[in-house]
Structure 1
Amino acid sequence: MEPVEINLGLLYLRALRADDRIDDRPAVVEGFADPDTRRWVPNYRIDDLATAGAYIARRAGEWVSDLRYSWAVADPFTGELLGEVGLKELDLTGGTAEAAIWTHPAGRRRGTASRALAAALRFGFGAIGLERVLYKHFAGNAASARVAEKCGFQLTDQVEQAARGDGAEEQVIVRIATRS
């Protein structure tokens, strides 16, 4: 599937870009250099424009291959990158996915994550027919827990263990949202 854009009024969801009109690479580097992002999003280290460019290219390939639908969360007036939201671990046949989100420091504490994730869920449940979406977050990540609650994710009895970006092991809480 080709990337889909979603206009939310106060936010605009579009493909991550690195071209002559919009270059998200500097904001991706800034976002992943942030201590909170490093702590709570341990799977990625993006320290320079080349790595950011590879990250953006990977996201484009994942979308076309139906592996992950991922959007840049942008200011609709300036184009400023405020974060990224996505549906990963896509199983279109089984109707399942896992939500993913990170927020650039410029996009925090203003409802960016919950609005973007709610839009991604509407797309997932409505446009591509998902039945179930998981949301995983570290137990100590209160902001991520609030986003999950605002978006209607319910706690499961499933708990995992994973290493945070600072190397400490912590419980990962698993939540679920289903098509209503």
Structure 2
Amino acid sequence: MQTDELTAVRVLEGPRVRLVPLGPEHFDSVWEGLHDAESMRLTGTRTRFTEAAVAAHLARIGAADDRADWAILDRSTGDYLGEIVLNELDEDSASMNTRIALAPGFPGRGYGTEAMTVMLDHAFAEIGLHRVGLDVYAFNPRALRSYEKAGFVVEGRQRDTLLWEGEWTDSILMSVLATDPRPTFR
């Protein structure tokens, strides 16, 4: 594994998206997403963040040696589309978790699938991971379809993992292996 790829996060390119290291310059866009009710629901986020906490997080993630965080930008306009993260490094098993959050107004346009595919290409070819996993709430079928398009396979279901506004929902466990067939955007 090339864990130096986690401390020297490089720019990744797809046909429509550009993944750049997430940092303090993305504060305004990240902050806006943290105040979007639908984004918070889709990610199951209840935490109310302070500006100082978000700024500190964005300032420190670039030096982390166990994760890689990217801002997803529109290649043609430079607009911030969201963020994608590899985290929870298990070096012994060459495995990491991923998560993605698109900015309000951008889900459903294929940007997430492309960003995920570009990031997975990097995770397997450059970092040398064997497995990337995630979980998605059952009330988000659009994300489930996007992950499947990127090559993720459903592994199982955890029942009643999130209580949101009085209703329980399950989470779907998914992963993709370096040896699995996946689409390419190159």
* Shorter-normalised TM range: 0.7 to 0.9
Q: CA deviation at 1:131?
A: 0.9
SS at 2:30's partner residue? helix
For the pair 1:17 / 2:16, whether they are aligned, the reply is no
Q: How many angstroms does 1:113 deviate by?
A: 0.6
Any stretches of 5+ residues in structure 1 without a counterpart?
A: none
Indicate yes or no: 2:150 matched with 1:144. no
**Compared with structure 1, are the counterparts of its residues 165 and 158 closer, same or farther at alpha carbon in structure 2 (3 Å cutoff)?**
closer
Contact map agreement 2:69 2:85 (CA 8 A) in 1: yes
Q: CA 1:57 to 1:160, structure 2 compared with 1: closer, same or farther past 3 Å? A: farther
Say whether 1:68 aligns with 2:67. yes
Which residue does the alignment assign to 1:169?
168
CA separation in 2, counterparts of 1:80 and 1:45? 26
Displacement of 1:47 in angstroms is 5.1
Which residue does 1:117 correspond to in 2? 116
> Quick one: structure 1 residues 48 and 133, their matched pair in 2 at CA, closer, same or farther if it must change by over 3 Å?
same
> Retained in 2: the 8 A contact 1:114–1:148?
yes
Change (3 A) 1:96 1:141: same
Counterpart of 1:8 in structure 2 is 14
Matched pairs, number: 173
Q: Cα distance 1:93–1:161, how it changes in 2: closer, same or farther (>3 A)?
A: same
Q: Which amino acid aligns with 2:171?
A: V
Residue 172 of structure 1 and its aligned partner are, at CA, apart by 0.7
Q: Report what 1:92 is aligned to.
A: 91
Question: TM-score, length-normalised on structure 1?
Answer: 0.85
Partner of 1:154: 153
The residue aligned with 1:81 is 80
Give the partner amino acid of 2:92.
Answer: T
The normalised TM-score by structure 2 is: 0.82
Residue type of the alignment partner of 2:79: E
Mark the CA change 1:169 to 1:4 in structure 2 (over 3 Å): closer, same or farther: same
**Where do 1:37-76 residues align within 5 Å?**
37-43=39-45, 45=47, 49-62=51-64, 65=65, 67-76=66-75
Q: Tell me how far 1:146 sits from its aligned partner.
A: 1.3
Q: 1:156 corresponds to which letter in structure 2?
A: E
> Does the 8 A contact of 2:87 with 2:97 survive in 1?
yes
Q: Which amino acid aligns with 1:169?
A: W
Going from structure 1 to structure 2, the CA distance change for 1:144 and 1:116 (only over 3 Å counts) comes to: same
Partner of 1:59: helix, strand, or coil?
helix
Percent of residue pairs identical: 26
Is residue 35 of structure 2 the alignment partner of residue 33 of structure 1?
yes
CA contact (8 A) 2:13 2:118 kept: no
User: Quick one: which amino acid aligns to residue 87 of structure 1?
Assistant: L
Larger RCO: Structure 1 or Structure 2 (Cα < 8 Å, ≥ 6 residues apart)?
2
Segments of 5+ residues of structure 2 without an aligned counterpart are 1-6, 180-186
Please report the RMSD computed on the Cα atoms of aligned residues, expressed in angstroms: 2.1
Shift in Å, 1:165: 5.7
